[in-house]
Structure 1
């Protein structure tokens, strides 16, 4: 199968057969992020016959596009359900892309937080929101057998990204799910550091990237909220301080949003947790994709 036949700037870096489908890794030059970006894709066997729907997966702090592909065990069920998995990197990278001056793991490279930065020097490169919402789907849908039926999911920082992007673009995503998401970043240390760095002191900008705020303000939105599934391990070392799960539960209970938020006994923040429940999340998305 030929990929990106009209996009010579997209390079196929790796290809593996798995569960009858193809695990692929590409590199392209992003005009939004102004650097070369890698992204991974799983195409199920059904993609050989025609276009398939896609679940976009957003990974967490320190991750690349390869963590989910190699650790989550998602390909078996995605192959059964006929779902493509689209897995971008977590930040811009490369020569000239700024990083945290102290080399901290929670800001800079590997920690884009899926926002459009407004502050120097980050504003030139860190436009992850636009990359995920617009540039990457346009590229994928033009060059691969993937249609415009999309769902979005993610873990930790990526769970934050999935919730924010899904809530702000409900016309683009049939469903949203998350593992251990940062749901109220304006009130946790990770979020305050990232938002003050990328977005500056104007907290009205912060609120645009906070799932709890967005869910609370849903009545002012013009589109319905997609179905939402969230799993949180009760043995997660980042719960509750960084993840702030109760804040979203409170808003969900006060509204008619209907998000399904589950606590899973004994599970931590790792990919062992994701691997344990990824099948349920993929089946959830398959039932909602249209």
Structure 2
């Protein structure tokens, strides 16, 4: 990895790197926070953060205020970009914010022109961890969390790979992309019209199908403009109750979809993950 920047932060380092991705067939950027424990030569566990529509690796890095708590807990933070980028990478013809650049939806596209680059599932699950954990002496214990589209990514990736993550959390996740406009648009473009191919990228469908139990925390703001039309948190509540899936789902009164919401509760999420990352 080529280091692009490095800033001292709460005794650790907030770094940004660039690397060639064979999975995505382009150059990618990723931000990593290394806590003081990592700089002292210790192997530290990792929390992966997946951001939402229109975001890059920098949104959470600069807005969430997570580094202070990560430094205290001795966990690294890894923040990838939300889609492939660069010359030749397909984008929505109308430059829409909910498809193409900044909107990879953490799936492996099977439909053209997206399938040449848009393989964010394999990148997030396999290529990126293998790269950063080896290069920076991190892991092997890891957790995953995210926001909105990234909350969808975190939940579905963890449910499909319970042996790879000790816990999962999400802010305002798209819990049923098969049943909302954002999800239907993206999954049709990337995966085609066969809805049976969508179910492995749908949290509600995965739990309905019997996904293994994993420590799960979900926070949703009651003043979120996208709650009813796009996020559909009640569907997650109902399927968890029906299937006996022990998720903690909290509604936070008056909070919206913004990073003000995330920055308010990110400490609780990191402490939630640390309990499981440090369990023997």
1:288 pairs with 2:276: yes
1:270 Cα deviation after fit: 0.1
1:123 Cα deviation after fit: 0.4
Q: Distance in 2 between matches of 1:212 and 1:272?
A: 27
Of 173, 189, 192, 2:181 maps to: 189
Q: Distance in 2 between matches of 1:66 and 1:81?
A: 22
> Counterpart in 1 of 2:25?
34
1:255 pairs with 2:247: no
3-state DSSP of counterpart to 2:7: strand
The gaps in structure 2 that reach 5 residues or longer are none
Q: Distance in 1 between matches of 2:136 and 2:207?
A: 33
Query: What TM-score do you get using the length of structure 2 for normalisation?
Result: 0.98
Q: Distance in 1 between matches of 2:90 and 2:25?
A: 12
Q: Distance in 2 between matches of 1:19 and 1:226?
A: 31
1:15 pairs with 2:3: no
> Counterpart in 1 of 2:254?
266
Q: Distance in 1 between matches of 2:238 and 2:213?
A: 17
Q: Distance in 1 between matches of 2:227 and 2:193?
A: 26
Q: Distance in 2 between matches of 1:208 and 1:149?
A: 24
Question: How many residues are aligned here?
Answer: 277
After TM superposition, the runs of 4+ consecutive aligned structure 1 residues lying more than 6 A away are: none
1:257 Cα deviation after fit: 1.1
Q: What value does the CA root-mean-square deviation take over the aligned residues? A: 0.7
1:230 pairs with 2:218: yes
Q: Distance in 1 between matches of 2:254 and 2:216?
A: 22
1:99 pairs with 2:87: no
3-state DSSP of counterpart to 1:237: coil
> Counterpart in 1 of 2:170?
178
Query: What TM-score do you get using the length of structure 1 for normalisation?
Result: 0.95
Of 47, 54, 61, 1:69 maps to: 61
